[in-house]
Amino acid sequence: MARTWTALPARSRDEETARLEQLQAENLAIARGLKRNDPALLDRLIELYQHRLLRYLLFLTGKREIAEDLFQETWMRVLLRGAQYNGKARFDTWLFTIARNLVIDLSRKRQMASLDEMSEAGDDERPFEVALDGPSPLEQFASREDCAEIAEVLLQLEPNYREVLTLRFHEEMSLDEIATVTRAPLSTVKSRLYRGLAALRPEVERLRQAHALAQGAPR
């Protein structure tokens, strides 16, 4: 099921504990099914994650044709290497890690700069904390505008920035989980998130002003 750009909900400690226990049980059930090569389970997983996985690949590659090819290959890897998943991590974390590695492999074959290479050149790992309490520019704009325009704005950012924004605000992954998928230190994840939000603000403001002008509203 596709997710919308919404703020991460606040949960009580008991609710969060119950959610984590349920998620762990689901992950272990998936791990057992993959070890049995259960075809019905694979069908359910594809149905559940297909939109999210394709969207993630689209934001990483910026090209639908490439994303669709890698989408198919990702599920082939899940089928062939399912026994490697042990259920200790979230299934979507493992799934997105496979997809990301395929993007990197393709970039190397085509002698393009990979996500990791682009990140090494631009990341600032000075320690700081990212303020995530209030709504992000994405969330502020998404409450009023079409998701297609949000996707267009994201595609203007560098791939490593739009990746962490997608994983954080769309997939609702924690910073630690994003670090697992991207194989980056936590400080680097925070840096990319901070820089991505900073780069996003003027683009969102530009779209907001364009809509205000189109509707005849005062700027």
**Average of pLDDT values for 125-153?**
53
User: At 114, is the secondary structure helix, strand, or coil?
Assistant: coil
Indicate the average pLDDT of the chain: 79
Q: For residue 59, which of 150, 155, 136 has the smallest C-alpha distance?
A: 155
More confident residue, 190 or 135: 190
What tokens appear for 10 in the block? Answer: 């606040």
Q: For residue 200, which of 135, 127, 121, 114 has the smallest C-alpha distance?
A: 135
Do 10-112 and 114-219 show the same overall fold? no
Tens-place pLDDT, residues 59-74: 888 889 999 999 999 9
Q: Report how far residue 64's alpha carbon sits from residue 58's, in angstroms, rounded to the nearest whole number.
A: 6
Q: Is the pLDDT of residue 3 over 50?
A: no
Query: Which of the listed CATH numbers 1.10.150.130, 1.20.120.330, 1.10.1740.10, 2.70.150.10 matches domain 10-112?
Result: 1.10.1740.10
Q: Report how far residue 174's alpha carbon sits from residue 167's, in angstroms, rounded to the nearest whole number.
A: 8
Contacting residues for 7 by C-beta, under 8 A, at least 6 apart: 135, 139
Domain boundaries, the chain: 10-112, 114-219
Q: Is the pTM of this model over 0.75?
A: no
In CATH, the number for domain 114-219 is 1.10.10.10
Tens-place pLDDT, residues 143-193: 444 556 677 778 888 888 889 998 988 888 889 999 999 999 999 999 999
Q: Per-residue confidence at 11, pLDDT binned at 50, 70, 90?
A: low
- CB count within 10 Å of CB 206 equals 11
- Phi-psi category of residue 111: left, alpha or beta, with phi > 0 → left and psi -120 to 50 → alpha: left
Q: Report how far residue 15's alpha carbon sits from residue 212's, in angstroms, rounded to the nearest whole number.
A: 40
